[in-house]
């Protein structure tokens, strides 16, 4: 159709001949037909009626549908133009010959005259049908590639949408756990404050009681001294000399029996230094009961979906995932593994893992770059330095694994790293014995590594931080 028309071709077709209307007429029922088609229909019919709705019409010569005829003429002209353009497209613009060949070098359809011209001389040419088949195959391959890329982009977008949702869930969960932990700290500080103030009040009561008792005794002495002074004044009055002399000895004995009450004893005041000296430090020391220090914690973003981590990220165990876990690049997808959140590229470090009851675990260190979408053995050649317990047998995961003969079952495993010396040691914390030591020159940052398929947890144990005084 021409660009100015918006009706589909079927709306311009006669219901009788199913072709574009020629000299269309309009019946009173609003149906249109070619004039010749309607006349032929009426010639074979017993009554003048509409071929579509069978409604009778009284007019032998229905009026022409001029608007529809104009539309049909415009459509016919447009189709003629398209057919002419299509015919022109099949001819060589330079030679007017039909395009029958395809030049592989120039990637253009050409005619037989073009093939012998200088422009295409020596070029590889194929028949249009054969070239079209090859090009169609390439287009299909390109289409498949684009479809695959589109699918990949849609997957990336879907993953991005899931990541946004997961970030919101993470933020809510982290905020709740932070509030819970601060609530414990607030409660601890409240109790410490309460105990500190109680100690102040207790000392205050003791000191006040002591001073009050001292004041009572002093008041009694004051009364005694006052009474003695009054009597002395009476005895010393110029009255009867004989009386003075007769009472002199008893009066002096009474004076000599009086003792001056001592000053308040040392320590009568509140001991401010006991209550305020290093107060925050002393509270911090007590806080270690509710705020233990862990040199290593777990990274939830690396944990396999079948691993469950404790809220404080210090314990891990195997469990069925309750919800779908986001498939992020850091996460292990093939095996029940996880890494610690802190990497080491210098210095010495150690941490202790309680394995009590867990009979299926691998512990140690791993490079950041270890494969996470493939199931590989946890050995040094793959970037792992680990100790393993499985089927009741302890093994150092060398190549091949080294079976360890132990006198008992270590419950607390200490992992020690000396990055500069290139040593990874595993020790039985309770016995103080070395189970195995790897020697390796590290090429990149290493992370604590954990694996388990047991429903009983592996637990990281807290350590006591040390405070050193610098001169």
Confidence of residue 5 (pLDDT cuts 50, 70, 90): very low
Instruction: Kindly state the average pLDDT of the residues 156-173.
Output: 87
| 457 and 445 Cβ atoms separated by less than 8 Å | no
| CA–CA dist 221, 228 (Å, integer) | 10
Of 113-117, 198-202, 291-295, 317-321, which has the strongest mean pLDDT?
Answer: 198-202
Cβ neighbors of 157 (< 8 A, separation 6 or more) are none
* Helix 128-235 vs helix 241-257: crossing angle, to nearest 10: 160
Say which range, 125-139, 153-167, 266-280, has the weakest mean pLDDT. 125-139
For residue 1, the model assigns a pLDDT of 42
N-to-C CA span, the chain: 96
- CATH assignment of 11-89, among 3.20.20.70, 3.30.40.10, 3.40.1080.20, 3.30.2040.10: 3.30.40.10
| CA–CA dist 234, 228 (Å, integer) | 10
Say which range, 88-92, 206-210, 441-445, 457-461, has the weakest mean pLDDT. 88-92
Structural domain boundaries of the chain?
Answer: 11-89, 162-287, 300-460
Q: Helix, strand, or coil here: 407? A: coil
> Which tens digit of pLDDT belongs to each residue from 331-388?
998 899 999 999 999 999 999 999 999 999 999 999 999 999 888 999 999 999 999 9
| CA–CA dist 223, 299 (Å, integer) | 79
- Computed over every residue of the chain, the mean pLDDT equals 85
> Which tens digit of pLDDT belongs to each residue from 60-70?
788 888 888 88
Write the DSSP symbol of residue 52: T
Say which range, 129-143, 167-181, 194-208, has the weakest mean pLDDT. 129-143
Of 29-43, 82-96, 385-399, which has the strongest mean pLDDT?
Answer: 385-399
For residue 470, the model assigns a pLDDT of 64
- Comparing CA positions, the residue from 91, 162, 167, 159 lying closest to residue 128 is 91
The CA distances from residue 66 to 11, 12, 22, 33, 277, in Å, are: 15, 13, 11, 12, 108
For residue 2, the model assigns a pLDDT of 43
| CA–CA dist 132, 124 (Å, integer) | 15
Torsion of CA 11, 12, 15, 21, to 10 degrees: 170
Higher pLDDT, 370 or 46: 370
Say which range, 75-84, 211-220, 248-257, has the weakest mean pLDDT. 248-257
Of 271-285, 288-302, 412-426, which has the strongest mean pLDDT?
Answer: 412-426
For residue 88, the model assigns a pLDDT of 62
Residues present in the chain in total: 471
Q: Is residue 430 over pLDDT 80?
A: yes
- CATH assignment of 300-460, among 3.90.1150.30, 3.40.640.10, 3.40.50.300, 2.60.120.920: 2.60.120.920
> Which tens digit of pLDDT belongs to each residue from 194-239?
999 999 999 999 989 988 888 888 888 788 888 778 877 777 776 6
For residue 10, the model assigns a pLDDT of 78
This prediction has a pTM of: 0.61
Instruction: Kindly state the average pLDDT of the residues 94-107.
Output: 75
* Helix 279-287 vs helix 128-235: crossing angle, to nearest 10: 130
For residue 162, the model assigns a pLDDT of 86
């Amino acid at each position: 159709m021409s660009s100015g028309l918006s009706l589909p071709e079927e709306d311009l077709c006669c219901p009788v001949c199913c072709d574009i209307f020629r000299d269309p007429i309009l019946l009173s029922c609003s149906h249109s037909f070619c004039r010749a088609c309607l006349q032929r229909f009426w010639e074979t019919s017993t009554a003048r009626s509409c071929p579509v709705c069978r409604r009778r019409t009284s007019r032998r010569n229905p009026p022409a549908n001029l608007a529809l005829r104009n539309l049909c003429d415009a459509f016919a002209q447009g189709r003629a133009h398209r057919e002419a353009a299509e015919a022109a497209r099949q001819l060589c613009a330079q030679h007017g010959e039909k395009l029958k060949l395809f030049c592989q070098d120039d990637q253009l359809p050409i005619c037989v005259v073009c093939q012998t011209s200088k422009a295409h001389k020596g070029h590889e040419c194929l028949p249009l049908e054969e070239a079209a088949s090859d090009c169609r195959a390439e287009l299909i391959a390109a289409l498949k590639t684009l479809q695959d890329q589109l699918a990949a982009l849609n997957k990336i977008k879907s993953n991005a949408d899931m990541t946004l949702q997961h970030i919101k869930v993470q933020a809510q969960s982290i905020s709740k756990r932070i509030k819970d932990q601060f609530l414990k700290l607030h409660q601890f500080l409240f109790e410490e404050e309460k105990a500190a103030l109680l100690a102040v009040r207790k000392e205050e009561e003791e000191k006040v009681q002591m001073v009050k008792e001292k004041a009572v005794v002093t008041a009694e002495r004051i009364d005694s001294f006052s009474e003695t002074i009054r009597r002395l004044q009476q005895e010393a009055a110029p009255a009867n000399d004989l009386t003075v002399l007769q009472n002199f000895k008893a009066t002096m004995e009474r004076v000599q029996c009086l003792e001056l009450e001592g000053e308040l004893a040392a320590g009568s005041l509140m001991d401010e230094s006991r209550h305020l000296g290093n107060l925050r430090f002393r509270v911090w020391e007590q806080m270690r009961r509710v705020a233990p220090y862990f040199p290593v914690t777990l990274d939830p973003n690396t944990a396999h979906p079948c691993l469950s981590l404790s809220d404080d990220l210090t314990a891990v165990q195997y469990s069925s995932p309750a919800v779908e876990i986001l498939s992020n690049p850091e996460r292990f997808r093939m095996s029940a593994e996880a890494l610690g959140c802190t990497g080491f590229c210098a210095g010495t470090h150690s941490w202790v893992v309680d394995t009590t009851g867990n009979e299926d675990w691998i512990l140690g260190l791993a490079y950041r770059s270890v494969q996470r979408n493939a199931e590989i053995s946890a050995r040094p050649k793959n970037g792992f330095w680990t100790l393993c317990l499985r089927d009741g047998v302890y093994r150092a995961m060398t190549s091949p694994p080294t079976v360890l003969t132990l006198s008992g079952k270590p419950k607390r495993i200490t992992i020690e790293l000396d990055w500069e010396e290139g040593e990874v040691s595993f020790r039985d914390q309770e016995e103080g014995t070395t189970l195995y030591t790897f020697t390796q020159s590290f090429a990149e940052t290493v992370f604590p590594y954990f694996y388990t398929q047991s429903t009983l947890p592996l637990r990281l144990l807290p350590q006591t931080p040390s405070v050193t005084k610098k001169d």
